[in-house]
Every structure is written in C-alpha cells, then in structure tokens.
Structure 1
C-alpha cells in the first residue's frame, strides 16, 4: 500500500507525488490538520478556510480515482512523525510519497518524518512539484545560489530552451479499496470563518483554478504587461491563492502561457513573456529560501541591515494596518486586503515601502501582518517582496529608491477609481484632488478622512539617513569619497 501525504498540492491533475504513488500500487491519501503550526506561521483565517474548502473538493476528485482521503490531527509538525508512522503501521503502508516543500520548518518536519519511517522500514519518496527546477540545480559559475534575479532568469531560460518541464498525466482510477474517506472539517479552532462575500471571491476546486488560468491566457495575458500595474483594471490572473495552495501547478501555468504565445517564453507577446517572468520570480524566491535559510528565520538577507534603527511606533503601525494613514492609495490597498484577503501586487510594493521607508517601521511587522490576512500568503514570495521593498533582501530595491505614494497613485490610479471603491469617504472628490485630499485644506477638506500621519518628504530624508548610517554604507561612502 502506498500513501500520498498532501500538503500544498491540493489537486489531482499534474500532481507528481500522487501519480508516482498510484503507479506503484494501491494508494491512500492523508492530510494533516495542524492549527498550532498554522498559528505559529501566522497563516490567515481566510487562507485556512480556503485550504479546507479546496481539500473538500479534492476529496471528491480523489474519490473518482478510488483514493480515500484520510484526515489526521496533529497540532504541530513536531507531532507529524508519530502521526504518520502510526497511520502507516495501521494501514500497512510500504512507501510514503510527498511533494517537496521549502523552508526551515518544512525541511525539519520532513527530515524527522523520514527518519521515523526509516526506522520502521517504510520508504519516504520526495518529488519535485512546486518548482520547475530542483533547488541546487540552478547555480552561479562558482557553485552558489543566485542573489540577483536577472542572472537567475538567464540560467532558467537556458534550461527551458533545453527542456520544458512536462505535465504529469492524471492517474487512472485504481481498484476500489475497502476504506472509507474521512469527512473534511468545515472549520478549525482558532481560525474565524471569513465572510461569505470573501469566500465568493475565491471559489474552491481545480475546475475554478483551471478556468481562471484558461480565461486569463486565452486573451488577458496579452495585455498583462500593459495593465498589470493598474489596480482598478482586471489585469492580473487572480491565480496566486490557487498557486499557494497547490490547487494549480506552476507547470500548468507555464504550459498555458506557452500555448498562448506559440511556444515562446522570451519572444512573441510581451504580456505572455512578462507573466512567465513572474512565474520565475516565484521560483527565484523559493530557491533563495533554500540557499539562504536565514530568510525564513525572520532575518534580513543583507546582514548589515540588521543594524537599522527601526522606529517603534505602535500608533503609526496601527494606522497603517487599519488603512487610516491619510495616504489614499495606501489606505485603499490595506482595506482591499482586509476585505478580500488579497492585494494587488503594485499596491503591495507601495504599502510595504511606505511602512518601511516613510514610517521606518521594521519590515517584519509588515511581513507578519500580510501573512495574517492574505489568502495567498506564501513564505517565500511574501518574505521576498517585503525584503525587496525594504532594501534588506536579495536583488532588493536600492535603499534610495523610495516610492512616493502620491505620485504612484496618480500614475497607476489616474481616475481615482480604485481609491473611490475602497475609500468611499473620498468618492466625491475629483480625479485631481483624490490623490492628496489634504491639499484642499480648510472647508474643502474631508472631515471623515485623516490627515497624513507623516510628511512624505521629511520621512524620505529620514529613511535615507538611516540607511546611510549603516556601518557598511559609511565604509562605502568613505571609500568612494
């Protein structure tokens, strides 16, 4: 008997471990409910709900293949070795199959499970599934992990020219087993149920994910490079939550994008090329997670930035969290996340840079808050994005490049449509005034909307000075002087 241990791979199509297990013999599936671990990882309640809803849909899809899904409860991953071993012994399991996950806790968990199974003579098979390339196989000429995305992408392109990662065929149904599937719980203690409005934005199941992918790559992807930065436009794929939960795979996304672009990933439609580049950014950050483990220990990729003198300002942090900063585009972005579990990528950069540069608040505060509210929360991508914005990470934005939220707003929401949707108290303002309502002053101001909590020009200078004061920056300044 084979066992597939499902984690962030909640699908039957293009599932490497599932297909490998079923090729070897009769197969069971298991999913571990671990609320204590999820809380320690700051997983959002809407994300946990999304997992459970997708798990319920997956259970039905597995039933068509005659693969019973079993549910095991283990509050933390420290209990996973015992839980998996006991299940294997109860069910006569010979081999366990998993799709690799990345991060310190995930690696430790799998290592300990493998050791426990090995002691009982049970095989543990790991499969590449979340990524196009095995971490450690895309390296610099000196044999190290890449720190710069453009160089990483160049090697990936060379590898893709040689061979496109193939899709894994859907397994044929196996003979029925005399084992009943378990009921997937509707909720888990410690995680409040999201609103039905939020749930309706993110229907569960592979059919939904595959429909979104097809609809996007049929036409919208061709305009992706032109429209992806405008939050009021439907310019993005809306697939990030499905990718994070593994309801759809990166390979499926790549193949669909290639079909839309005559098999090309470097030439052809610039929108398709740009979207494939985004898939490679996702790949890059997961390779960074493996190559530089400190980033999943809440440490800055650039060690010298650990000496930054971040401000301790709970009042400013709370205003940012609640979307009450007095900067309309930032507030609209934060409110979008709180209501929908998702934030447009351009707005993630604007909001993150405002917190870390204008407010000079530690990026880890923002990273954690995003994870606590995002339905697509992913350690590698979230950490990578925050460290890029705060100039503490690999291939990060230079510390002197600081987005001005007002000019970003004017450029990417020129009509103020997005702001009006999420900051309704400003809905009566015209497209010129809505980006900076404070400039109206006096009787023309909006009483229900706060004044900016920080002066953009002065706070920019404060951030520049903080970065220049770092020991390495001082040394560089003296050397260049």
Structure 2
C-alpha cells in the first residue's frame, strides 16, 4: 500500500502523528507540501516568514529523504484549487490513503473538507497541533472556555490526568532517497538570522531550557536581555511541537511544574496561552473571519487616523519604547512579547485605531506570524477579545518603558537619535532635547497619553451605555 503524508504547519519528522502512523502502517510512503502563494498573500503573511518556510521545507525534504520518503512540493494559487491538484497527484502516484495533521483556520478547514469529499481514499486526520486536543476541554455546559484562567486550570487538570505522548522519528524504510530542491516563488525577505530545520529548533529549545528556563519568570519582560525562548518561529511552522516543549521542561526540571510558584511554570503557562488561542479559533470560526470575539465591540467608533497609523508603523510616534519596538519589528521580523502588548495597547487605546490594522501589520512583518496567537493578542489588547479583565486596561508607554527598559538599552539600540540621552530622561526625552536645543532630533509625541486614555475609556463606556439602553 502506498500512503501519502500531506505536510502543512507541521514541518518536522519527530512527534508528527500523521507521519508516524503512515510509516507504521505501510512500507511505501510519499510526502507532499502544497504551496498556495495567492492564499499566502491573501492571508497577509510576511516575506520573512515565507523565506523561513522555504528554508525549512528544504530541511524537511532532506530529513524525509533519509527516512526513504520523497517530498513533492506542488503549487496552485489558492486553496480552492487544492482538491483537484491533490486528487490528480493521488491518482498519479496510486496512493491508497492520505494522512495529515489538523489545520485549524476556517479557510484551511473548508479546504480539507473539500479534499476529503473529492478523494476516493481514506483520509486520516491527527492532532499534531496541541498538547490537549481541540474540543476536549469544556465547561460543565460543554462549551469552550471564554476566559483564560479557568481554561488553564482545566488544561492543567487534563494534562495531569492523561499526560502527553511524544512520538519519535519513525524508523527509516529500506533505503534513503534523493531530497528535492525546494524553491518557493513570491516575495522573500532574508531570514538567515534564524537557523532552519529540526536540529536547529531542537538545539534552540535545549539551550533555552538549560540557560533561561529557571529565570524566565523574572527576565521575560525585559527586552534588552535574552530572557525569552525565541522559539515562536519554530512553533508557528510546526518545526517544533508543544509536546516537545513539555518534554524539554520535564527533562530539565525532572518533572512538569503545575503551580504558579514552581520553577518553569511561567513558560509552561505561555504554552497554555498558545493552546487557549488555538482552541478558541476552532470553537469560534468568526475569529478566522476578521470578527471580534465580543460581537458587541464591532460597534466601537475607531479613528481612521492614517497619519498617526503611519507614524506607529514607522516608529515615529515620539514614544521611545513604542518606536524602538516598531523599528525592531520592521528590521528583524520579530518583537519581544512585552513590547507587543505595549505597542498594541498604544495603537488601540492611545491612537484609537482599529485593532484589525495592527493585526494585519504584525502578520505582514512577523517571522512567527500565525492567526490564533496574533488575533488573540490583538483582541486582548484592544478589549474586544476573550478576557475577563475590564476594558480600561491601558498601558502607559512611559511607565512600561521605565519599568522594563530602565536604563534605556533597548531604546538606544533602535532609536539612535536618543543615544546620548541620560537614562533619567530617555523614557520621555522631549524636555531634555528642548533644553539642549535638539527638538528636531526626534519625533514629537503624536498624542497626549493621559487624554487618550480618558477618550478610550469613554469610547467603551459609550458602547456599554448603548447596550444597556
């Protein structure tokens, strides 16, 4: 029997349920990846992530070839062309069964349903996406949790009860085959600052756990230090699995942490956040359709503010921590998580600009862009998402800067025009610049934070009043 493994956002040979099952059940296995450049553009994914994808597909091709599995890279413009393309490939290769790991976006789910309807062979779908399978964590009413804290308690309870399963790299078939050369089309931006392939991802995971896991809770909020894992690009494309992250935590600490006071729990909690957003995406398809999690917030009167939006995009807002973060994103394709919260709050609560615009800008530039986490983070910041906290959470950019970049090291790296401003003044440098007759060195603040905060709260109050009337 000839089995076919359809790779998507699961570009790995280890802990890959679809690949593992296909190779256990047949001694003749092929693999395919279907590139849809038109769909990639429509989804707004970044050129740097596309380059990273191309490089990791090449690495996957080589790893599969060592197992005796040949990877074919097919191309069609959009998802609606995939069923016919895949059907023709299945017939040509005389495939008896298709194996794939679940893809969770609504367009992907519609594509997969159409594929299953067109193919005349068994299609087996696995959970290679989350530690805890989608839909298996529910309230007493059988519904998906809408708030993180009770969800996290249920997630931890489920993990305690059922554990997790880490699958090895399958045993190689009789002989190796030749790896194909992968060259995706479309706009690319150099991603070589990030090493590609499973070995590099595993090495990065091991290094983080050995060097930074113990201090993650204390250091993760400081962008000038290497306190975060920087594993998100690998998780976004499935080069690493969340199960592998759990196994690495357990290997480093001797056991998984299940309580807030335990070492390593802060990073495990980030994995739970990742799963929360992915489970939400499956439970509430509207999140894949540019809709707010809280439908009533779609009536919010956002500002159009094209000029200030451009200033935010270019890192010219006059708020140093915001500008440093945005310039870092545009240059490197990555942004520290604390900074993501700061700049998202600034766009939505200070500039009063629709979160959709920020979400799209991030996706167009991030190397780790993926719908569930990006959408979840933006809606959390905007006050439209799955969050129990009141809408009047508004980050003060100067206070955040003073707290998390006290000496201004991160700011100076990305805003060189403030390079010689003393740490005492760097978080709000305009008075110092005026005193030294250097007002023109740096952008003036595009908004007054105190006034903007009051307006943001009034915006939501007006919405609340409208609902109650």
Quickly name the TM-score band, shorter chain normalised.
over 0.9
Change (3 A) 1:255 1:76: same
The yes-or-no answer on 1:447 pairing with 2:440 is yes
CA-CA distance at 1:267 after TM superposition: 4.1
2:452 to 448, 459, 466: 459
Match of 2:92 in 1: 90
Task: Report the equivalent of 1:62.
Answer: 64
Deviation at 1:440, TM superposition (A): 2.2
Residue of structure 1 equivalent to 2:274: 282
Of the structure 1 ranges 395-404 and 136-145, higher mean CA displacement relative to structure 2 is found in: 395-404
**How far, CA to CA, are the matches of 2:219 and 2:466 in structure 1?**
40
> 1:45 — aligned with what?
47
Task: Please name the residue that 1:204 is paired with.
Answer: 196
Cα distance in 2 for partners of 1:90, 1:455 equals 64
Residue in 1 aligned with 2:409?
A: 417
1:194 aligned residue: 189
Residues 138-149 of structure 1: pairs in structure 2 closer than 5 A: 138-149=137-148
Displacement after TM superposition at 1:473 (Å): 4.3
Asked if the contact 2:316–2:323 (Cα under 8 Å) also holds between the matched residues in 1, the reply is: yes
* Residue of structure 2 aligned with 1:77, choices 76, 79, 89: 79
Shift of 1:424: 0.7
Distance of 1:16 and 1:355 partners within structure 2: 40
Aligned mates of 2:256, 2:77 — CA distance in 1:
46
Q: Deviations 1:378-419 (Å, cap 9, x if unpaired)?
A: 100000000000000001642111000000000000000000
For residues 209-245 of structure 1, what are the alpha-carbon distances to aligned partners after superposition, in whole Å with 9 as ceiling and x for unaligned?
1011101111310000000000001000110000001
Matched, 1:437 2:429: yes
The residue matched to 2:150 in structure 1 has which SS?
A: helix
**In the TM superposition, what are the counterparts of 1:277-356 in structure 2 within 5 Å?**
277-356=269-348
| Mean CA deviation greater in 262-271 or 455-464 | 262-271
**TM-score, normalised relative to structure 1:** 0.94
Matched residue, 2:150: 151
Within 2, Cα distance between the matches of 1:96 and 1:316? 50
- When residues 475 and 37 of structure 1 are mapped into structure 2, their CA distance, relative to the original with a 3 A threshold, is closer
Deviation digits for residues 115-144 of structure 1 (CA, Å, limit 9, x no counterpart): 111xx2x11110001101221110000010
Q: Is contact 2:62–2:180 with CA below 8 Å preserved after alignment?
A: no
In structure 2, the residue matched to 1:12 is 13
Mark the CA change 1:114 to 1:272 in structure 2 (over 3 Å): closer, same or farther. Answer: same
- Deviations 1:261-309 (CA, angstroms, capped at 9, x unpaired): 2213214974410100100000000110011111111011111111100
List, as ranges, runs of 4+ consecutive aligned residues in structure 1 with deviation greater than 3 Å. Answer: 179-182, 267-271, 472-476
Q: What's the CA shift string for 1:177-214, capped at 9, x where partnerless?
A: 8x8653210x412x1x324xxx3321101111101110
Find the counterpart in structure 2 of residue 258 from structure 1.
250
Label 1:174 to 1:396 Cα distance change in 2 as closer, same or farther (>3 A). same
Deviations 1:444-468 (A, max 9, x none): 2442211000011111111111110
CA distance in 2, matches of 1:150, 1:267: 13
Q: Is the 8 A contact 1:62 1:69 kept in 2?
A: yes
**Preserved CA contact (<8 Å) 2:217 2:266:** yes
Q: CA deviation at 1:151?
A: 0.6
SS of the residue aligned with 2:364?
helix
Following superposition, the deviation at residue 260 of structure 1 comes to 2.1
The residue aligned with 1:104 is 106
Residue 230 of structure 2 corresponds to residue 247 of structure 1: no
Identify unmatched segments of 5+ residues in structure 2: none
Q: Displacement of 1:438 after TM fit? A: 1.3
CA contact (8 A) 1:167 1:251 kept: yes
TM-score scaled by structure 2? 0.97
SS of the residue corresponding to residue 31 of structure 1 reads strand
8 Å Cα contact 1:70/1:181 also seen in 2: no
How many residue pairs get aligned? The number is 466
Between stretches 168-177 and 363-372, larger displacement belongs to 168-177
Name the residue aligned to 2:387.
395
Superposed CA RMSD in Å reads 1.5
CA deviation map 1:293-341 (0-9, x unaligned): 1111101111111110000111111110011111000000001111111
| Conserved? CA contact 1:425–1:446, under 8 Å | no
Aligned to 1:129: 128
Taking the aligned partners of 2:13 and 2:128, their CA distance within structure 1 comes to 12
SS in 2 for 1:184: coil
Q: Is this contact kept in 2: 1:78–1:109, CA < 8 A?
A: yes
Question: 1:222, 1:269 within 8 Å by CA — same for their partners in 2?
Answer: no
Q: CA deviation at 1:368?
A: 0.4
Q: Tell me the CA shift for residue 474 of structure 1.
A: 4.9
* Structure 1, unaligned runs of 5 or more: none
Paired residue for 1:374, among 348, 366, 373? 366
CA distance in structure 1 between the partners assigned to 2:267 and 2:99 by the alignment: 31
